[in-house]
Amino acid sequence: MLTLLMKEKQIKKGIQLIIVAACMAFLAGCASTTQYVPLPDQSKRIEDSSKARIYVVRPTSFGGAVSFKVNDGDTLIGNTGPNGYLCWERPGGQMEVIGKAENTSRLPVDVEQGTVYYIQQHVRMGIMMSRNELSLLSEAEGKSKVSKCKPPKVKK
Decide if 148 contacts 85 (C-beta within 8 A). no
Tell me the pLDDT tens digit for each residue of 124-135.
877 767 788 999
Tell me the pLDDT tens digit for each residue of 60-114.
776 566 788 999 999 999 999 889 999 999 999 999 999 998 899 999 999 999 9
Which range, of 5-9, 91-95, 126-130, 140-144, averages the lowest pLDDT?
A: 5-9
Report percent pLDDT > 90 for the chain.
62
